[in-house]
Amino acid sequence: MIRDQDAPANGHRGEAVVRVAGVALVLRPSFAALVAAEGELGPLFALVERVAEGRLGLGEIVALFWHCLRDSPPVSREQFGEAVAAAGLVAAMPALKTLVGQILAGR
């Protein structure tokens, strides 16, 4: 279903890894990715506030991750969402923490 990406995440670029279906996928919070996520999810600072308050929903996490995928996904968004949900929120938290940090740092 989902296969490994060619290169590991680059922390200097603010990239993070999320493991879904046993495969590491690289997330890169580029300007274009964050603009696309903001277009779907609303202002990024409001998203950060929802994270801080524990009010960010699974659908929002999947949307943010989807827009930040570094490489074209080999699956549909629905399949990606199902894989993230199957992995569980605990598995998504390190990548979410990295992305939120990058949003706040503006790198």
Reported as a single tens digit per residue, the pLDDT across 21-71 is 788 899 999 999 999 999 999 999 999 999 999 999 999 999 999 999 998
**Who's near 37: CB < 8 A, 6+ residues apart?**
44, 47, 63, 64, 67, 68
Pair of tokens at residue 52: 């801080």
What DSSP character marks residue 11? G
Single pTM value for the model: 0.89
Confidence class for position 3, pLDDT limits 50, 70, 90: very low
Contact (CB, 8 A) for 21 and 100: no
> Between 102 and 5, where is the model more confident?
102
